[in-house]
């Protein structure tokens, strides 16, 4: 069970990932969670998020937004970004992940998921047999964190870190 929650890589945030290194390792498509991964929960796209996604596409990545949130929420974030998206994804069901890979026209082995929740983003990636990067959620330590789930996540993370010390992408 624990191994199904284990991400391929850890990073401090979606903005601290060495994407050139991922490209060098053969990744060509990125599936992003939105809330607490790219922006605080419910927020509009920020210039930082817009820049990141534009730069990634310039680098040659395909980018897709995968959210459990509503269509209206995803469209609100996406209106300046214009990425393909899937809303109401029902993570950790692998179905939407597989559809995302299909929509981008890439191979599963070329695809990597970026998200802030082990029990949805990362578990879903593993079920769909996709690589993943687990990022510390935006707003860490602030009100609004999801009590028991975050607590359980922290326990799992401590376990994973003890088992596998060098999951960070070397820079
Ligand atoms: Mg999230």
Task: Please give the distance, rounded to the nearest whole angstrom, from the Cα atom of residue 117 to the centre of ligand 1.
Answer: 6
CA 33–ligand 1 middle distance (angstroms): 6
Note the pLDDT tens digit of each residue in 91-133.
999 999 999 999 999 999 999 999 999 999 999 999 999 999 9
Q: Domain range holding 84?
A: 2-163
Question: CATH number of the domain that 111 lies in?
Answer: 3.40.50.1000
pTM of the model as a whole: 0.89
With respect to residue 171, please indicate whether it lies within any of the assigned structural domains.
no
Q: How far is the CA of 135 from the centre of ligand 1 (A)?
A: 10
Q: Is residue 57 part of a domain?
A: yes
Residue 31 lies in a domain: yes
User: Which residues 6+ apart lie within 8 Å of 156 measured at CB?
Assistant: 2, 5, 118
Number of domains composing the chain: 1
**For residue 100, is it within any domain?**
yes
Q: Ligand 1 mean position to 37 CA, how many Å?
A: 5
Ranges in the chain, pLDDT < 70: 1, 140-149, 163-171
Residue 74, domain member (yes or no): yes
């Amino acid at each position: 069970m624990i191994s199904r929650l284990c991400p391929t890589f850890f990073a401090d945030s979606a903005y601290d990932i060495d994407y050139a290194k991922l490209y060098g390792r053969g990744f060509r498509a990125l599936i992003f969670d939105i809330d607490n991964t790219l922006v605080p929960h419910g927020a509009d796209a920020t210039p930082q998020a817009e820049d990141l996604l534009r730069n990634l596409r310039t680098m040659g990545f395909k980018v897709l937004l995968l959210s459990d949130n509503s269509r209206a929420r995803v469209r609100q974030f996406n209106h300046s970004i214009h990425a393909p998206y899937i809303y109401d994804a029902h993570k950790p069901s692998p179905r939407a992940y597989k559809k995302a890979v299909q929509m981008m026209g890439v191979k599963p082995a070329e695809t990597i998921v970026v998200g802030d929740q082990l029990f949805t983003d990362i578990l879903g990636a593993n079920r769909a047999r996709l690589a993943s990067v687990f990022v510390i959620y935006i707003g860490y330590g602030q009100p609004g964190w999801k009590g028991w789930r975050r607590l359980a996540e922290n326990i799992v993370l401590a376990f994973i870190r003890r088992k596998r010390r060098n999951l960070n992408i070397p820079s």
